[in-house]
A and B are shown apart, each in its own frame.
Chain A
Amino acid sequence: MHTSHAENEANYLKYKGKYKGLLGWILSTDHKRIGLLYLYSIATMFSVGALLGLAMKFELLAPGKTIMDAQTYNATFTVHGVIMIFMIVIPGLPAVFGNFLLPIMLGAKDVAFPKLNLLSWWLYVAGVFLVLSALLFGPGTPDTGWTFYAPYSFKTGTNLLPAVFGAFVLGFSSILTGLNFLVTIHRLRCPGLKWTKLPLFVWTIYGTAWIQLLATPVVGITLVLIALERIFGVGVFDPALGGDPILYQHLFWIYSHPAVYIMILPAMGAISEIIPTFSQKHIFGYKAIIASTMAIAFVGWLVWGHHMYTAGMSGTAQYYFSLLTFIVAIPSAIKVFNWISTLYKGSINVQTPFYWAISFIFVFMIGGLSGLVLGSLATNIYVHDTAFVVAHFHYIVFGGTGFSFFAAMHYWFPKIFGRMYDKAWANIGWLVFFIGFLALYSPMFYLGMMGMPRRYYDYLEEFHGGNILSTFGSWIMVTGLIIIITNLVRSARRGPKAEMNPWHGKTLEWTVTSPPPLENFDEIPVIAEDDGPYNYK
């Protein structure tokens, strides 16, 4: 607040503080720099996870051993899952875009606890290295799947301990980020920015933060118990000592199902920002979207049992879990209706982020509806643990969160880096990626219906055709990914300078220069009574 205008002129990318070079980044408490630190770490881990996924698809090109044996395949899908879930989609949008945008959208200079924010990133990095150390040292790469199911997780001879401990540390990082965002939203809204005027991205971050805060400790203690079981032989989940492995599954999914909403809620938030901007129209049903966000965050707690229909549960419990699963689909559908209604009679500006947002709605609907197939008891028994499940959650987690992440990336890129990307190449990248995505995951619905189980390196000859298509799809998708990333990396350094508000957005981040100045605002903005985040006239 003592900053003069001249000091604040340097943007956050160029600003030189106490430390120079790399240290100026990894010791910076500026929320924008921390957002970018997350972006770079997540992008690095994503490329590792994607390569592992590519290797698995290559293995499935033909029946029998193609490039790896069964044990290697098990290790590959485990590490692919742990990296993609704990290091990419869970931190994903909140850690990158939440960090970068939340304070600016609230009209604040930073988050409530900047040092804690930096600590979260450091914990994230520590967690990443812990998990990776499981690959390099010890008797073998973990092979339990990302769910660490008991009792195999303490019977396997592989080096599971660092992976479990790493996941715990990553969870702690996630809790601290959630806590920080909650306090920020409660305390640092600028004058006039009432709860009913918050941008929807902020609202979804708010719902997400509650889940991060309340669900993560449950999986934290469960992972600690797995570790204690391996080190000291405490028999909490070991049937030989009276423990109940099904109880492990319950505790694991009490977190890990809400975690799905940690992944998808901020993704929905980003789409709720992009659709009105490119329709130049007030978002349809603003309050309905808020209500559905909070409803998802709440009901999402009560549906974990649908992961366990075949594990052994009372029939009554199954009926309730199935019913609640159908109920939790309603708020998601409300959002889809609202997005589509926003488009109606809007003056649509077709740009790259808009393509991503529209394709998000398309894949999200397929993913969501196939989720209902899995949520009904009878059909679930039929497709449980088949490729159908893998197709479903990749449509939701990769199709939902991934598409939204790229939509957000292309939407806020000019704000973050102050430069514009090559729009033609960005559109080509999107198209190739979209085609590859459909070719990769759609055949897996069919394969699952035909009875191909998941998590096997081998399959019967009758599944060959679908798998060939799927593997080809993976190559197309990676080609798209390379185009997109090359375009973005090049443009971040050499692209033409971006305007302050290239898409004519109405939220507060578009009122500051691109890239934003160090302290975001020279003067804390004041929101007028008749103004708001989607105020298109």
Chain B
Amino acid sequence: MEKSAHIEHEHYDAEASKVGMWLFIFTELLLFGGLFIIYSVYRFMNPDAFHLAAEELDTFIGALNTVLLLISSMTIAMATTSLQKNNKLHTLLLSTVTVILGLVFLVNKYFEWGIKFSHGIWPGSPHMMETMSQGEILFFGLYFIMTGLHALHIIIGLVIIAVAMVRVNKGTVHANRAALLENAGLYWHLVDVIWIFLFPLFYLIT
């Protein structure tokens, strides 16, 4: 900060910021990797309970959210391409679509969690403690943690895309300095990929 006021580095290294983003993605993968290990261990220990508990989840909402995220990944990729072609309007439009799809995903998630709560299913709830087996309690514990952490990543991704959109609008992110939007896109794809694994693990394998 102090330096930039004094010495005008024209230091822009698109390659460096992309390498940095990829390394950060490795970090995120290992963060979720820990949870996937826990999931596999407990699924191995409680196959029947996991089967029973998974029936409780609504495959339709899960599938809908998967489709939403896949489309949003496409739109953010298209936004990046538009930026490379210096088409500011299309970039902003496509990013907006991505943000809207992400928000709809969160709204669906909100209703999904809300239904669970209304059925008396939340970590440590009396309903779970009295009627459920240990395996089912573990399943729902992991369900809330993993989808919750994923939702948090959706929110972070949306914020990054929003920042990139402001910068595109101001003109500081453009075809020759596209790293911010490209990295936002990379991060968004990561969020998408993690969901692609969460969806079958919780909704489809029953």
Residues of A within 8 A of B (CB): 1-3, 7, 17-19, 24, 27-30, 109-110, 112-115, 118, 175, 179-180, 182-183, 186-188, 213-218, 220-222, 224-225, 228, 232-236, 241-244, 247, 251, 254, 518-519
Among residues of B, the one whose C-beta sits closest to the C-beta of A3 is B7
Closest-CB distance, B23 to chain A (whole angstroms): 5
Q: Is B5 an interface residue (CB 8 A)?
A: yes
Q: Which chain B residues lie closer than 8 Å to A236 at the CB level?
A: 38, 138, 141-142, 145
Q: Is B30 an interface residue (CB 8 A)?
A: yes
Q: Which chain B residues lie closer than 8 Å to A183 at the CB level?
A: 16, 19-20, 23
Q: Are B24 and A179 in contact (CB under 8 A)?
A: yes
> A28-B3, A109-B9, A213-B23 known; 20 other A-B pairs, CB under 8 Å?
A3-B7, A17-B3, A24-B2, A28-B2, A29-B1, A30-B3, A113-B16, A179-B24, A214-B26, A214-B27, A221-B34, A234-B145, A235-B134, A236-B145, A241-B134, A241-B138, A242-B46, A243-B42, A247-B41, A518-B3
Q: Are A247 and B23 in contact (CB under 8 A)?
A: no
The CA of A24 and the CA of B2, in the complex, are separated in Å by: 7
Among residues of B, the one whose C-beta sits closest to the C-beta of A218 is B34
Among residues of B, the one whose C-beta sits closest to the C-beta of A184 is B16
Q: Are A18 and B19 in contact (CB under 8 A)?
A: no
Closest-CB distance, A5 to chain B (whole angstroms): 13
Bits for B1-43, please: 1 = Cβ < 8 Å to A, else 0: 1111111111001011101100110111011111101100110
Q: Are A218 and B33 in contact (CB under 8 A)?
A: yes
Q: Are A27 and B31 in contact (CB under 8 A)?
A: no
Closest-CB distance, A435 to chain B (whole angstroms): 43
The CA of A221 and the CA of B32, in the complex, are separated in Å by: 8
The CA of A183 and the CA of B138, in the complex, are separated in Å by: 39
Among residues of A, the one whose C-beta sits closest to the C-beta of B24 is A179
Q: Which chain B residues lie closer than 8 Å to A17 at the CB level?
A: 2-3, 5-6
Q: Is B161 an interface residue (CB 8 A)?
A: no
Q: Which of A7, A115, A220 contacts B1 (CB 8 A)?
A: A115
Q: Are A18 and B2 in contact (CB under 8 A)?
A: yes
Q: Which chain A residues lie closer than 8 Å to B2 at the CB level?
A: 17-19, 24, 27-30
Say yes or no: A1-B9 contact (C-beta < 8 A), given A28-B2, A234-B124.
yes
Q: Are A18 and B123 in contact (CB under 8 A)?
A: no
Between-chain CB contacts (< 8 Å), 9 pairs: A1-B9, A2-B7, A213-B27, A217-B30, A218-B30, A233-B123, A236-B141, A242-B133, A251-B34
Closest-CB distance, A205 to chain B (whole angstroms): 15
Bits for B162-198, please: 1 = Cβ < 8 Å to A, else 0: 0000000000000000000000000000000000000
Say yes or no: A247-B38 contact (C-beta < 8 A), given A112-B16, A112-B20.
yes
Q: Are A213 and B26 in contact (CB under 8 A)?
A: yes
Q: Which chain A residues lie closer than 8 Å to B28 at the CB level?
A: 217
Q: Are A28 and B1 in contact (CB under 8 A)?
A: yes
Q: Is B137 an interface residue (CB 8 A)?
A: yes
The CA of A247 and the CA of B41, in the complex, are separated in Å by: 9
Q: Which chain A residues lie closer than 8 Å to B33 at the CB level?
A: 217-218
Q: Is B144 an interface residue (CB 8 A)?
A: yes
Say yes or no: A112-B13 contact (C-beta < 8 A), given A179-B27, A234-B124.
yes
Q: Are A251 and B1 in contact (CB under 8 A)?
A: no
Say yes or no: A232-B123 contact (C-beta < 8 A), given A221-B31, A221-B34, A222-B34.
yes
Q: Is B135 an interface residue (CB 8 A)?
A: yes
Q: Which chain B residues lie closer than 8 Å to A215 at the CB level?
A: 30
Q: Are A2 and B8 in contact (CB under 8 A)?
A: yes
The CA of A2 and the CA of B4, in the complex, are separated in Å by: 12
Q: Are A234 and B123 in contact (CB under 8 A)?
A: yes
Q: Which of B23, B38, B124, B145 contacts A179 (CB 8 A)?
A: B23
Q: Are A251 and B26 in contact (CB under 8 A)?
A: no
The CA of A214 and the CA of B28, in the complex, are separated in Å by: 9
Q: Are B16 and A243 in contact (CB under 8 A)?
A: no
Q: Which of B1, B3, B5, B141 contacts A234 (CB 8 A)?
A: B141
Closest-CB distance, B194 to chain A (whole angstroms): 13
The CA of A7 and the CA of B26, in the complex, are separated in Å by: 40
Q: Which chain A residues lie closer than 8 Å to B7 at the CB level?
A: 2-3, 7, 518-519
The CA of A83 and the CA of B141, in the complex, are separated in Å by: 31
Closest-CB distance, A109 to chain B (whole angstroms): 8
Q: Which chain A residues lie closer than 8 Å to B8 at the CB level?
A: 2
Q: Are B141 and A214 in contact (CB under 8 A)?
A: no
| Residue among B5, B13, B23 with most chain A CB within 10 A | B23
Closest-CB distance, B5 to chain A (whole angstroms): 4
Among residues of A, the one whose C-beta sits closest to the C-beta of B15 is A187
Q: Are B145 and A187 in contact (CB under 8 A)?
A: no
Closest-CB distance, B143 to chain A (whole angstroms): 10
| Residue among B30, B37, B138, B144 with most chain A CB within 10 A | B30
The CA of A3 and the CA of B7, in the complex, are separated in Å by: 7
Say yes or no: A1-B10 contact (C-beta < 8 A), given A234-B141, A236-B138, A251-B38.
yes
Closest-CB distance, A428 to chain B (whole angstroms): 40
Closest-CB distance, B20 to chain A (whole angstroms): 5
Closest-CB distance, B60 to chain A (whole angstroms): 26
The CA of A41 and the CA of B17, in the complex, are separated in Å by: 29
Q: Which chain B residues lie closer than 8 Å to A187 at the CB level?
A: 13, 15-16, 19
Closest-CB distance, A179 to chain B (whole angstroms): 5
Say yes or no: A242-B30 contact (C-beta < 8 A), given A7-B7, A18-B6, A19-B2.
no
The CA of A519 and the CA of B3, in the complex, are separated in Å by: 10
Closest-CB distance, A39 to chain B (whole angstroms): 19
Among residues of B, the one whose C-beta sits closest to the C-beta of A172 is B27
Q: Are B3 and A29 in contact (CB under 8 A)?
A: yes
The CA of A518 and the CA of B6, in the complex, are separated in Å by: 11
Closest-CB distance, B122 to chain A (whole angstroms): 8
The CA of A215 and the CA of B102, in the complex, are separated in Å by: 30
The CA of A180 and the CA of B42, in the complex, are separated in Å by: 36
Q: Which chain B residues lie closer than 8 Å to A518 at the CB level?
A: 3, 7
Closest-CB distance, A229 to chain B (whole angstroms): 9
Q: Which chain B residues lie closer than 8 Å to A112 at the CB level?
A: 13, 16, 20
Q: Are B145 and A214 in contact (CB under 8 A)?
A: no
Q: Which chain B residues lie closer than 8 Å to A29 at the CB level?
A: 1-4
Q: Which chain A residues lie closer than 8 Å to B134 at the CB level?
A: 235, 241-242
The CA of A33 and the CA of B167, in the complex, are separated in Å by: 30
